Amino acid sequence: MRTDTPWGTLPAREHLLAGKADRPVLDVVIPVHNEETDLERCVARLHEHLTRTFPYGFRITVADNASTDRTPDIADGLASGIAEVQAYRLEEKGRGRALRTVWSHSDAPVLAYMDVDLSTDLNALLPLVAPLISGHSDLAIGSRLTSNSRVVRGPKREFVSRAYNLILKSSLAARFSDGQCGFKAIRREVAQRLLPMVEDTGWFFDTELLVLAERAGLRIHEVPVDWVDDPHSSVHIVRTAAEDLKGVWRVGRALAVGALPLDRLARPFGDDPRDRELSGVPRGLARQLVGFCVVGVFSTLLYLLLYSLFRAGAGPQTANAAALLLSAVANTAANRRLTFGVRGRDRAVRHQAQGLVVFGIGLALTGGSLAALDAAAGSPSHGTELAVLVAANLAATVLRFLLFRAWVFPERHRAPDDMSDAIDTRWTA
């Protein structure tokens, strides 16, 4: 998994202007491999549609990846005959590789792609890219699985598509509805930061792109589409499904261990209306309090469960220490990621060590409470022990939040890194 992107945080989104005539706003990429039958018809239809309906400058880029038929010659002919068309030739296969290459070198502020069969109705193209042009969203995808979509396809492909998206939702907690639809768009500055983190070069490429963008908190706009299945599609369903499942496992593992620097994709403070400062409240405090409380509820439940389990075979002090230690490690990890937005492995060990110091303070409070209870009541009931521990944990929780915010995860103001091209992908025109 690639983690070496040098980018700082993303700039705030702005509405894109029409710009100069020599720099199109939209670059639509059509990745192809041995598509000599459909390519010319596809480009002509897309060009006619954009000329008639799209109010900004545009470009159509044919990205031929290792075709062995007449596809390269047809692409070159289209580029020679139509001013808004250009062609790239790559010597290796892979839809993801083709998109990465063209998107990495395009100067258009909005980048899109669609399949050569044009299964998606082109009337959805302007609604797809409009939120990116306006500055409302970071990525946009066409969806065949919303209630407003109108889809014509066989039961086999319908089952595969829905099963795949169910796997994405259950394993990677994806919230977007359709990861496979070949109809997507992205703002250029987002692509520049996100592409170095995407490892796949085949069919899983755009799904991986979406999952990482969603986990980074970027806004994804969905457009319901009208879609008609191409019965002559050359996609090998079983092989593609197997590669996708491998990709799901790889990305899920990287996310689980925090191997991706997704914090580098964050928008600056103030871009999100939830970041607006409240009178008399330090910046970010309201959101951190909510996250800390949610984590605290679950860690307290975990602590009580562990204490009850350990208490069955050990004394109250031993059970309390063991339960508090395990729940404290989980609490520190959850607050690190969810409350204070710290991702990746950098300083993770240090944070856990500091968390253990906070744990020691909590242990002193709860342990002291149990000792005082034992001295006062002799042999208190299990219910009384739990009640005292809950009260002691509430006091420890307030102190824990203050220590986390001021000492363990203090806010650091860092200037964005100087931006340089992180992708050195070679291509041939």
Q: Which residues are catalytic?
A: 206
CA dihedral 97, 100, 102, 107 (to 10 degrees): -170
The whole-angstrom separation of Cα 424 and Cα 33 is 23
CB neighbourhood size of 157 (10 A)? 18
The residue written with tokens 């191409």 in the block is 230
CB neighbourhood size of 149 (10 A)? 19
The whole-angstrom separation of Cα 179 and Cα 267 is 23
Burial group, residue 188, by CB count within 10 angstroms (0-12, 13-18, 19+): middle
Burial group, residue 386, by CB count within 10 angstroms (0-12, 13-18, 19+): middle
Enter the tokens of residue 132. 């990116």
Q: What is the CA radius of gyration of the chain?
A: 27
Enter the tokens of residue 298. 């679950």
What distance, in Å, lies between the first and last C-alpha atoms of the chain?
28
Contact status, residue 256 vs residue 180, Cβ threshold 8 Å: no
Pairing status of strand 139-143 against strand 110-114 = unpaired
The whole-angstrom separation of Cα 173 and Cα 215 is 9
Enter the tokens of residue 407. 């000492």
DSSP assignment, residue 142? E
Counting Cα atoms < 13 Å in the Cβ hemisphere of 407 gives 15
329: which residues sit within 8 A by CB, 6+ positions away? 352, 355, 356
